[in-house]
Structures are given as C-alpha cells and as structure tokens.
Amino acid sequence: MQLKVTSWNINSVRLRIGLVERFLIEQKPDVLCLQEIKCRDAEFPLKDFRKLGYEHIAINGQKGYHGVAIVSRLPIEEINKREFCEKGDARHISVNLAPIKGKPITIHNFYIPAGGDEPDPAINEKFAHKLQFLDELQEWTKTSKLAKDNSILVGDLNIAPLEHDVWSHKALLSVVSHTPKETEKLTKIYQAGPWIDAIRHFIPADQKAYSWWSYRSPNWLESDRGRRLDHIWLSKALASKLTSIDIFKEARGWERPSDHAPISAVLDLSKSDKTKT
DNA sequence: ATGGTGGTCCTACCA
C-alpha cells in the first residue's frame, strides 16, 4: 500500500486549477496539500477535484490572501484548523485519514508567514509575526502529539533552513527566509518533534535543493537562484516507510505557473515497522 | 544598490 503525499503553494487555486488538474492526472498523488488558495471556502473549485476522484476535501479558506486545503482520494475522518497569533489568518489545516493497514495517519498543512523584506522584528511587523508564529508552533509541539505516532507535516514554511537550501548562503543570510533568527527557530521545532526531513533524506545536505524560484527573475531556470521553502516532515514512526521523494520542478516551467514547485513523498505502508533506514 | 513579477480586487496589499 503506497501513499503519495504532495505539498504545493499554488498561488490562487482558481486561477491555476488547470495546472492542478494536469498535475493530479500525471503525477497521481493520493493526498494534495495546497497553500495560498486565495479564496473563501465556498469559492473552492470542489467539482474539478471530485471529477478526478479526489472526493475528500478539507478547506481553511480566506478572502484574497493565504488559505490552505487538503484534497484526498482516501477518506478523511477528522478535520482540524488552528489559529496562530490571533490574527484570523487561514494558515493551518490538518486531517486524520481513515486508518491504512491499521495505521491512522495525521497530515498537517502549514502556510507560515513570509515575513516581509526587513529582517528586524523591531521595525517590521511582518517579520515579528513570522517569529511569533514559529514560537507558537514550538509551544504547540511541546504540548501536543504533533510529531507523535503517524504524523506528516507539510507546507510552505517560508524558511530555507540549510546552507544548500539557497543559491547563496552568504548572500541570503540577511534575506528573510534564510536569516539565523528564523532558521534557528525552525530547526528547534524540527528537532523537538523529532521529525525526519523527507527531501533531505534523499538529497544530501551538501547538494543544492530548491522548491521556489522568484517570479522576478525572467530567466529563473538558467540563473537558478532558488530556495527550498517547502517541506515534508515525517514522524519517526513513518520514517522507515519513506521510499522516494520528488521536487517536480517541471511545473515551475508550465504556462502561468506558481512560483513554487510541488514536492512529494511516497510512503510504503506495507513495510515492516522494524525496517531500518 | 536597485528593481525586477504576479495575484486579488479597485486601491493598496501581499508575496
């Protein structure tokens, strides 16, 4: 029994529903976690997903900005949404899948604040918000089962934590998304889980890996100044089930693309729990 | 050092 989970910041699900359909048909994930759907719940294009067999859908929408959703071919038993920083932003949703091979799996989908341009919380309220969001996530990790049992955390975390998650470590140390203030907080959350970084499980830390390329570079492919802002983390119990990952860079080159590529992980849930990785 | 592009929804805000 294979489970393929994908995370994709779609930057308007209504505008790019054609690209989403193409991805679902060609890449066949079982569960697709979307960020920046940029619509209210009632405006989400349910029918387009249902006709492709994705009948189980959880939405935390918002007018114009942000918004996250999870669409699934597999039954969803429970949906939860958590608010952070008391701002009313739609930046989290989680689902409990019906047990697969006896395993109940929880998937958390996050859209962490981008944080604006100036990496100083004293003068940039957006960066202060990002840091506060990370502090609340750290607290939640401590007091909940977030990383326990069979859990998957995905999303646009808007942070590239490792040196080779950005095209130039040195140049980006002062650029929001790669500053020590953020990367240290994210690393603490990651270690506290503890989580397994699915992408880095297969791509060594000394090799470049990106999931996002700015719209502001017309030659994004040749210049390749990317960042790894999107992540798939697995709880320890699921780490031994991980069989492959993919950063589907091709979609960044499709017509009128999102600036993020979809990232996927495939788990083999029929594998023994005792398998070493 | 600067400006580069794109989405939402009407004017500026967010990324």
As a rounded value in angstroms, the CA-to-C1' distance for A103 and B8 is 40
What is the value of pTM for the model shown?
0.97
Query: Would the Cβ of A28 be found within 7 angstroms of any atom in strand B?
Result: no
Nearest nucleotide by C1' position to the A15 CA atom: B7
Strand, helix or coil at A37?
Answer: coil
The number of distinct structural domains making up chain A is: 1
Query: Which range of residues forms the domain containing residue A83?
Result: 2-268
Query: Would the Cβ of A45 be found within 7 angstroms of any atom in strand B?
Result: no
Residue A273 in any domain: the answer is no
Residue A147 in any domain: the answer is yes
Residue A236 in any domain: the answer is yes
Strand B nucleotides where any atom sits below 7 Å of a protein CB: 3-9, 14-15
User: For residue range A71-100, what is the model confidence (pLDDT) as tens digits?
Assistant: 999 999 999 999 999 999 999 999 999 999
DSSP H stretches of helix in chain A: 17-27, 46-50, 125-143, 169-172, 180-192, 198-202, 220-223, 236-239
Query: Would the Cβ of A204 be found within 7 angstroms of any atom in strand B?
Result: no
Domain CATH for A144: 3.60.10.10
User: For residue range A244-269, what is the model confidence (pLDDT) as tens digits?
Assistant: 999 999 999 999 999 999 999 999 99
Strand, helix or coil at A47?
Answer: helix
Q: Which of A115, A242, A82, A110 minimizes the C-alpha distance to A182?
A: A115
